[in-house]
């Protein structure tokens, strides 16, 4: 109140950039029936009070170009080019062609990906029901403004902080607070952005929007504390490039000092030798190739109606060996149909059908079961409306309605409503469950208002339940389900069915879909501890009567046992588990909350597209591992050879143009094509270890042969330019043999690629040898080269076998250490 006793208008304080004063705006007391007017909306847009957050997932065109052009290694290449130009060594600038092509390809692919994903994001952008100018509208959530009146339903994710004006909701705030309890929200209560609606329907006024909302501030604070962790492959590559970036500058300085000051070579030759060693150590196309492959994969998935929210999931997909699915919407069609209404003994259907119709018409159609019931009784006319309702919750497995005058009814899973009192109905329930039908119990419920058993006010379901009828529902198995699950079985991916349904119902559906081990099922509601759930996670295939928290525990247990777990889901009951899975896949036709937290969204909601998604992940990782080994052969060879040159105070034998020729024909061009071809093999082991295991034998072979040739050249007093040429041919041949290994199995396409690269190399050294500083070999130098070329394959094979044997020895040693390690019981004794 002010001094005159008048009520001051409520104001909204908007945070301003640093060193600028905070701005205050007057709030609107929005009418929940009419909403904001056009003038008020325009004012809010002018004030910048729109529900738009800083989206760093989509880069601008300018950022894409800058991120590809202005890189650390491009700076080094630019400096080397200037120095070589200054020295007049024009033919050694060949590496700039590779750098230019790499940069252009990277920019083109990323721009293409941006356009494709931006189109998909428009199609899949979350929408919200808003009341404006007295009418309901569906608009994108990022077009909402402060003080808008919005309507939230079950399955919606709260898009901005809001205050409930009318109606009631049950929300889950675990995604923003970590607390997984379902919380009832009544008029006047605050809804936090990022939480999701479990049940109910309510109107709410937006209280904080955009970057001022709780979820946005939480996200910004998290970014300040810790950047999002990169997946294994990208993390390994980033670490590798950072290490190379640190050591390359002192190496370059030492190399020039060694060649020019110690050995006494001319400034031009010293610069050329230094440039050659530096260029050889830079994996100029490796990181780019990886990024391009991931981007290309994102585009291919987009063309198959799959939206990638997080690119790291593509690598995770390649390593998935366990896939968790729901019954409804994955194994079966999402739409359900009422199969039968069964009045319980001594009752007739007519006696209770009126109450069932009243119940159904009092509830919101916020799940597939209720939609099916409303469709079945679409021609019926209700007589009464409920005065209190409790929407369906995956945690309790029932919904309820109170019509006053001691007329309350409950509908849901018989086991959850009657608990231990289901014995009388067990045979009937089992009969229908064995046919794959979902069985619901409709019962009357007596409770004390505001008492402990008042389920409409947060109480616990009591025992005063009287069964009245059973309702059975069915939904058809998806046509491609058998084929899809057969693919995963052939690929070594285990399937787990996690459902809120009766375990027998879920198991029958799984058997019809051809899922292996579907006869191993369990009612998870009977498991009382985390340890029991962890034990069951690996023992059983089908899990029934699972609550959202139990779904999450099952996923965590599977991950803890060493599996890479992917999960598909479409409902709010899947959100917690989707968040915890290594890779989460949502159906676009499902809840908004599930789609928002998932790594991938199947826009056509067709699970039969999953084999393409998994195959895409395997294609990318397998091919990048294979191509990366080509790059590391050059890097390891150049690093070791430079180190030997520094320690022995000897001439670095290769020239920049020679390194560039091998990089282009034996590494860059073939790796680009190999990285984009189909490859569905299961991915095993760690990325960097796999790549080093492949690259080291070839790199060490090249080092051994080149050092050997230099020793012979010094002994027989071979000219420097001839020794350099011999070294070049030995390195090129070792790299070509590595290309042969990478091309295996040698199909027609691989054979053509291998032959073309070899032919191009022969043409280059035959017709323009001067450009690559290749001297014509005399008798003595040819005599050194010939036997060493013949030794290349035997040496590489010997090193390959040595590495295999070392791996075996390592595994035996680890196994022996584990056997000798005393058990916990031994320690206690």
495-516 tens-digit pLDDT: 999 988 889 999 999 999 999 9
pLDDT level of residue 491 (50, 70, 90 thresholds): confident
Question: Minimum mean pLDDT among 112-121, 256-265, 704-713: which range?
Answer: 112-121
User: In 3-state terms, what secondary structure has residue 42?
Assistant: helix
Which of 66-70, 310-314, 519-523, 598-602 has the largest mean confidence? 519-523
Among 617, 806, 812, 562, residue whose Cα is nearest residue 693: 806
In this structure, the chain runs to a length of 829
Whether 116 and 131 have beta carbons less than 8 Å apart is answered as: no
Summarised one tens digit per residue, pLDDT across range 644-654 is 988 887 888 98
pLDDT level of residue 110 (50, 70, 90 thresholds): confident
pLDDT level of residue 123 (50, 70, 90 thresholds): low
Summarised one tens digit per residue, pLDDT across range 411-426 is 999 988 887 767 678 8
Q: What is the pLDDT of residue 57?
A: 54
State the burial class of residue 57 (Cβ atoms within 10 Å of its Cβ: 0-12, 13-18, 19+).
exposed
Whether 502 and 434 have beta carbons less than 8 Å apart is answered as: no
User: In 3-state terms, what secondary structure has residue 6?
Assistant: coil
Q: Is 672 a residue whose pLDDT tops 70?
A: yes
Whether 710 and 727 have beta carbons less than 8 Å apart is answered as: yes
Percent of the chain with pLDDT over 90: 29
**DSSP label at residue 499:** -
Question: Minimum mean pLDDT among 228-242, 319-333, 559-573: which range?
Answer: 228-242
Percent of the chain with pLDDT over 70: 89
Using alpha carbons, list the distances in angstroms from residue 552 to 122, 159, 215, 249, 805: 31, 24, 22, 49, 41
Q: Residue 396 has which token pair? A: 């309790």
User: In 3-state terms, what secondary structure has residue 136?
Assistant: strand
Q: Residue 647 has which token pair? A: 């320690």
Q: Is the peptide bond before 745 cis (omega within 30 degrees of 0)?
A: yes
Q: What is the pLDDT of residue 486?
A: 92
Annotation says 326 is catalytic: yes
Q: What is the pLDDT of residue 41?
A: 92
Helix and strand numbers (H, E) in the chain are 28, 23
Considering 153, 326, 501, 574, which one is annotated as catalytic?
Answer: 326
Q: Residue 382 has which token pair? A: 């209700």
pLDDT level of residue 225 (50, 70, 90 thresholds): very low
Whether 307 and 600 have beta carbons less than 8 Å apart is answered as: yes
Q: What is the pLDDT of residue 218?
A: 59
Q: Is 566 a residue whose pLDDT tops 80?
A: yes
pLDDT level of residue 790 (50, 70, 90 thresholds): very high
Q: Residue 358 has which token pair? A: 């009243």
Distance CA 219, CA 200 (A): 27
Whether 651 and 702 have beta carbons less than 8 Å apart is answered as: no
Question: Minimum mean pLDDT among 13-17, 699-703, 708-712, 750-754: which range?
Answer: 13-17
| Average confidence (pLDDT) over 66-73 | 82
List, in order, residues 6 or more apart from 104 with CB less than 8 Å away: none
From the CB of residue 156, how many other CB atoms can be counted at a distance below 10 Å?
26
Q: Which residues of 639-668 are buried (b: 16+ CB within 10 A; e: fewer)?
A: bbbbeebbeeebbbbbbbbbbbbbbbbbbb
Whether 286 and 669 have beta carbons less than 8 Å apart is answered as: no
| Average confidence (pLDDT) over 790-809 | 88
Q: Is 241 a residue whose pLDDT tops 90?
A: no
Q: What is the pLDDT of residue 756?
A: 95
Question: Tokens 């009419």 label which residue?
Answer: 34
Dihedral of alpha carbons 456, 458, 464, 465, sign? positive
Q: What is the pLDDT of residue 675?
A: 77
Question: Minimum mean pLDDT among 100-104, 140-144, 256-260, 697-701: which range?
Answer: 100-104
| Average confidence (pLDDT) over 539-548 | 91
List, in order, residues 6 or more apart from 734 with CB less than 8 Å away: 633, 637, 698, 699, 701, 702, 705, 792, 796
pLDDT level of residue 715 (50, 70, 90 thresholds): confident
pLDDT level of residue 548 (50, 70, 90 thresholds): confident
Q: Is 230 a residue whose pLDDT tops 60?
A: no
Higher confidence at residue 563 or residue 406? Answer: 563
Backbone angles phi, psi at 88, to 5 degrees: 75, 20
Using alpha carbons, list the distances in angstroms from residue 279 to 94, 678, 757: 11, 31, 21
* Secondary element (H or E) of residue 475: none
Q: What is the pLDDT of residue 294?
A: 77
pLDDT level of residue 137 (50, 70, 90 thresholds): very high
Whether 139 and 121 have beta carbons less than 8 Å apart is answered as: no
Higher confidence at residue 763 or residue 365? Answer: 763
Q: What is the pLDDT of residue 259?
A: 86
How far, rounded to the nearest angstrom, does the alpha carbon of residue 113 sit from its chain's CA centroid? Answer: 16
Summarised one tens digit per residue, pLDDT across range 34-58 is 999 999 999 999 988 998 876 555 6
Q: What is the pLDDT of residue 22?
A: 57
pLDDT level of residue 177 (50, 70, 90 thresholds): low
From the CB of residue 820, how many other CB atoms can be counted at a distance below 10 Å?
7
pLDDT level of residue 462 (50, 70, 90 thresholds): confident
Which of 95-104, 143-152, 390-399, 458-467 has the largest mean confidence? 143-152
Q: What is the pLDDT of residue 219?
A: 52
Q: What is the pLDDT of residue 338?
A: 92
Q: Is 3 a residue whose pLDDT tops 70?
A: no
Distance CA 729, CA 666 (A): 13
Q: What is the pLDDT of residue 312?
A: 75
Treating both helix axes as pointing N-terminal to C-terminal, what angle do 779-820 and 687-715 enclose, rounded to 10 degrees? Answer: 140
Distance CA 570, CA 243 (A): 43
Among 789, 656, 642, 665, residue whose Cα is nearest residue 729: 789
Whether 436 and 512 have beta carbons less than 8 Å apart is answered as: yes
pLDDT level of residue 829 (50, 70, 90 thresholds): very low
End-to-end CA distance of the chain: 75
State the burial class of residue 163 (Cβ atoms within 10 Å of its Cβ: 0-12, 13-18, 19+).
middle
| Average confidence (pLDDT) over 205-218 | 81
Pairing of strands 494-498, 542-544: parallel
Q: What is the pLDDT of residue 220?
A: 54
pLDDT averaged over every residue in the chain: 83
Distance CA 71, CA 150 (A): 46
Distance CA 329, CA 309 (A): 21
Q: Is 821 a residue whose pLDDT tops 90?
A: no
Q: Is 828 a residue whose pLDDT tops 70?
A: no
Summarised one tens digit per residue, pLDDT across range 733-775 is 999 999 999 888 888 989 999 999 999 999 999 999 988 889 9
Distance CA 227, CA 232 (A): 15
| Average confidence (pLDDT) over 545-552 | 88
Q: Is 114 a residue whose pLDDT tops 90?
A: no
Task: Note the pTM of the prediction, 2 decimals.
Answer: 0.73
Q: What is the pLDDT of residue 689?
A: 83
Distance CA 727, CA 710 (A): 8
Q: What is the pLDDT of residue 180?
A: 58
User: In 3-state terms, what secondary structure has residue 733?
Assistant: helix
From the CB of residue 684, how many other CB atoms can be counted at a distance below 10 Å?
8
Among 660, 724, 726, residue whose Cα is nearest residue 279: 660
Dump strand ranges (E) for 173-273.
182-185, 190-191, 196-208
Q: What is the pLDDT of residue 359?
A: 94
- Give me the DSSP letters along 270-338: HHHHHHHHHHHH--TTHHHHHHHHHHHHHHHHHHTTEEES-THHHHHHHH--EEEE-TBTTTB-S--EE
């Amino acid at each position: 109140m002010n001094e005159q006793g008048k009520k001051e208008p409520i104001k909204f304080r908007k945070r301003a950039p640093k060193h600028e004063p905070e701005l205050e705006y007057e709030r609107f007391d929005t009418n929940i029936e009419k909403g904001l007017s056009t003038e008020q909306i325009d004012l809010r847009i002018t004030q910048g009070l729109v529900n738009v957050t800083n989206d760093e997932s989509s880069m601008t065109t300018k950022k894409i170009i800058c991120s590809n052009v202005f890189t650390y290694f491009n700076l080094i290449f630019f400096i080397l080019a200037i120095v070589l130009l200054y020295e007049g060594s024009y033919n050694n600038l060949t590496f700039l062609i590779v750098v230019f092509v790499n940069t252009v390809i990277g920019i083109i692919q990323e721009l293409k990906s941006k356009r494709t994903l931006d189109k998909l994001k428009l199609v899949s952008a979350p929408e919200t029901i808003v009341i404006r100018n007295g009418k309901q509208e569906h608009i994108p959530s990022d077009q909402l403004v402060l003080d808008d009146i919005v309507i939230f339903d079950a399955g919606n994710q709260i898009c901005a902080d809001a205050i409930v004006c009318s109606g009631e909701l049950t929300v889950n705030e675990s995604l923003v607070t970590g607390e997984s309890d379902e919380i009832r929200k009544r008029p006047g209560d605050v809804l936090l952005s990022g939480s999701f609606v479990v049940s109910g329907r309510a109107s709410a006024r937006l209280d904080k929007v955009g970057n001022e909302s709780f979820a946005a501030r939480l996200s910004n604070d998290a970014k300040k504390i810790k950047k999002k962790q990169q997946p294994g492959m990208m993390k390994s590559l980033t670490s590798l490039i950072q290490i190379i970036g640190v050591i390359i500058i002192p190496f370059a300085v030492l190399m020039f000092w060694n060649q020019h000051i110690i050995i006494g070579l001319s400034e031009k030759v010293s610069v050329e030798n230094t440039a050659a060693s530096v260029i050889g150590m830079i994996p100029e196309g490796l990181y780019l190739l990886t990024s391009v492959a991931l981007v290309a994969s994102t585009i291919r998935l987009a063309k198959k109606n799959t939206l990638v929210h997080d690119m790291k999931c593509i690598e995770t997909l390649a390593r998935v060996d366990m896939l968790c699915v729901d019954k409804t919407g994955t194994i079966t069609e999402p739409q359900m149909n009422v199969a039968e209404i069964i009045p319980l003994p001594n009752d007739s259907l007519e006696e209770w059908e009126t109450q069932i119709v009243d119940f159904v018409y009092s509830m919101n159609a916020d799940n597939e079961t209720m939609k099916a019931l409303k469709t079945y009784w679409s021609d019926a006319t209700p007589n009464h409306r409920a005065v209190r309702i409790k929407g369906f919750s995956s945690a309790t497995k029932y919904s309820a309605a109170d019509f006053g005058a001691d007329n309350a009814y409950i509908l849901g899973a018989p086991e959850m409503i009657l608990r231990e009192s289901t014995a009388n109905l067990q045979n009937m329930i089992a009969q229908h469950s064995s046919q794959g039908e979902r069985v619901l119990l409709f019962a009357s419920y007596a409770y004390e208002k505001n008492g402990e058993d008042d389920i409409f006010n947060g109480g616990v379901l009591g025992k005063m339940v009287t069964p009245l009828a059973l309702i059975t529902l069915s939904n058809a198995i998806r046509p491609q389900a058998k084929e899809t699950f057969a693919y995963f079985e052939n690929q070594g991916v285990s399937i787990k069915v996690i459902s809120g349904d009766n375990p027998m119902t879920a198991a029958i559906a799984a058997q019809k879909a051809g899922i292996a081990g579907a006869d191993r099922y369990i009612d998870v509601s009977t498991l009382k501890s985390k340890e029991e759930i962890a034990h069951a996670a690996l023992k059983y295939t089908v899990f029934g009567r699972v609550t959202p928290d139990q779904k999450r525990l099952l996923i965590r247990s599977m991950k803890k046992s060493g599996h890479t777990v992917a999960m598909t889901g479409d409902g709010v009951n899947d959100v917690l588990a989707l968040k915890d899975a290594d890779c989460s896949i949502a159906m676009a036709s499902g809840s908004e909350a599930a789609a928002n937290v998932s790594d991938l969204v199947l826009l056509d909601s067709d699970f039969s597209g999953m084999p393409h998604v998994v195959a895409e992940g395997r294609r990318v990782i397998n091919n990048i591992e294979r191509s990366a080994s080509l790059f590391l052969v050059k890097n390891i060879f150049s690093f070791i050879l430079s180190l030997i040159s520094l320690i022995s105070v000897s001439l670095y034998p290769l020239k920049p143009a020679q390194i560039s020729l091998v990089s282009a024909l034996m590494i860059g061009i073939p790796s680009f094509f190999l990285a984009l071809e189909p490859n569905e093999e299961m991915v095993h082991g760690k990325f960097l270890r796999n790549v080093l295991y492949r690259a080291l034998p070839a790199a060490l072979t090249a080092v051994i042969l080149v050092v050997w040739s230099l020793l012979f050249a010094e002994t027989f007093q071979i000219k420097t330019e001839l020794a350099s040429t011999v070294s070049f041919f030995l390195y090129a041949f070792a790299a070509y043999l590595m290309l042969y290994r990478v091309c295996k199995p040698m199909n027609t396409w691989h054979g053509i690629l291998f032959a073309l690269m070899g032919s191009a190399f022969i043409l280059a050294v035959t017709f323009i040898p001067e450009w690559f500083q290749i001297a014509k070999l005399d008798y003595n130098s040819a005599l050194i080269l010939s036997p060493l070329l013949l030794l290349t394959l035997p040496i590489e094979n010997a090193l390959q076998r040595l590495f295999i044997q070392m791996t075996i020895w390592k595994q035996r040693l680890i196994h022996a250490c584990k056997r000798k390690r005393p058990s916990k019981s031994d320690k206690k004794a």
